[in-house]
Amino acid sequence: MDTKLIQQYGEEILSYRLRTARQKKRMQHEDFDKQLIQLYKEERSLYLQQRNLGWEPLIPPVQRGWKRFFVLREDVARSKQTQFFENILKKINTEDWSYRKDFRVKKRRFGRKTYVVKGQQLLKPCEYHFNKLGFTDAEKQFFHSEFSYEKGFGKFIKRYVFNEPWRFVLRIRPNTIDKKRKVDSELESRLQQMHNYLERNDYKKRQSKIVHGYTKYRHWREEEIEKEKYVFKNKSLNQILDAIQEEVL
């Protein structure tokens, strides 16, 4: 409280909830943070409304490249176990897209660029995904587990592989687009207005910090510090052996 106000109006002014300059400035920052939170909530709500607008037919339909997927081989499709293997295929089928009908991609071999056919495999679900797919006991007998190292996870992952992939063959079909998402001009305008406001004033970082507790715009040095430190870094061989011996004992 300013001493001049106390001298001018007396100690009775202390009964009023008058804020200092520092408190007023802090309240301004808090109000601004609340506005950013409200903008985030509004943006999420508008994106949800935009996603639930539905689809409308596209007239005329448009072809965008080619799609490739697995189907039953002819002899398997004519056998008595057609439905059984169709159920398996629905759960492990994969689909790929290419602008070329032959699905060839550029690849450098011995310094030269050549075109090779792009590979495609059946789905190899991890243990958690495999249980979620709901295979029956009879269907599970056609799978075996194997461990493979994956760089994305940085560890060995247990995956289930189909034992008889020869039962399925690849089929190429035109990728036809016959529907499109509905568009609301008012939603698009409001979302673009909010995006421009946050990006132009560089408020995205502050908003991410308030809402999520962190910001994705951190400096690379901060991410490096957060990584697990190597325990035996800058230590001699004798020190390492002593530390290992203490852990064993």
Domain boundary among 164, 180, 196: 180
Query: Do residues 140 and 186 share a domain?
Result: no
**Same domain for 14 and 42:** yes
In whole angstroms, what is the distance from residue 228 CA to residue 249 CA? 25
Co-location of 89 and 145 in the same domain: yes
Global pTM value: 0.63
Does 115 lie in the same domain as 154? yes
Task: Examine the domain organization and report whether 141 and 98 are in the same domain.
Answer: yes
Residue 220 is predicted with a pLDDT of 45
Domain count, the chain: 2
Same domain (yes/no): 244, 224: yes
Residues 102 and 156 in one domain: yes
Residue 215 has phi, psi (to 5 degrees) of -130, 140
Q: Which residues pair with 115 in a beta bridge?
A: 106
Do both 111 and 157 map to the same domain?
yes
Per-residue pLDDT in tens (0 to 9) along the chain, 249 residues = 556 656 666 656 555 566 778 888 998 899 999 999 999 999 999 999 999 999 999 999 999 999 999 999 999 999 999 999 999 999 999 999 999 999 999 888 787 888 899 999 999 999 999 999 999 999 999 999 999 888 888 889 999 999 999 999 999 999 999 999 999 999 999 999 999 999 999 999 899 988 888 765 554 444 444 555 566 677 787 887 787 777 665
Question: In angstroms, rounded to a whole number, what is the distance separating the alpha carbons of residues 153 and 203?
Answer: 32
Planar angle of CA 204, 221, 217, nearest 5 degrees: 10
Alpha-carbon span 102 to 65, nearest angstrom: 11
3-state helix, strand, coil in the chain (%, to 5): 45, 25, 30
Point out the domain boundary residue: 134, 159, 180: 180
Question: What's the pLDDT score for residue 109?
Answer: 79
Domain shared by 65 and 141, yes or no: yes
**First-residue to last-residue Cα distance in the chain:** 64
Using DSSP's 3-state secondary structure scheme, residue 212 falls into helix
User: Which structural domain range is residue 72 located in?
Assistant: 57-180
For residues 28 and 9, membership in a common domain is answered with yes
Residues 77 and 35 in one domain: no
Of the three residues 137, 160, 180, the one that is the final residue of a domain is 180
Tokens of 189: 């305008």
Query: What φ, ψ does residue 98 adopt, rounded to 5°?
Result: -155, 150
Q: Indicate whether 174 and 84 sit together in one domain.
A: yes
Query: What distance in Å separates the CA atoms of residue 46 and residue 191, rounded to the nearest whole number?
Result: 7
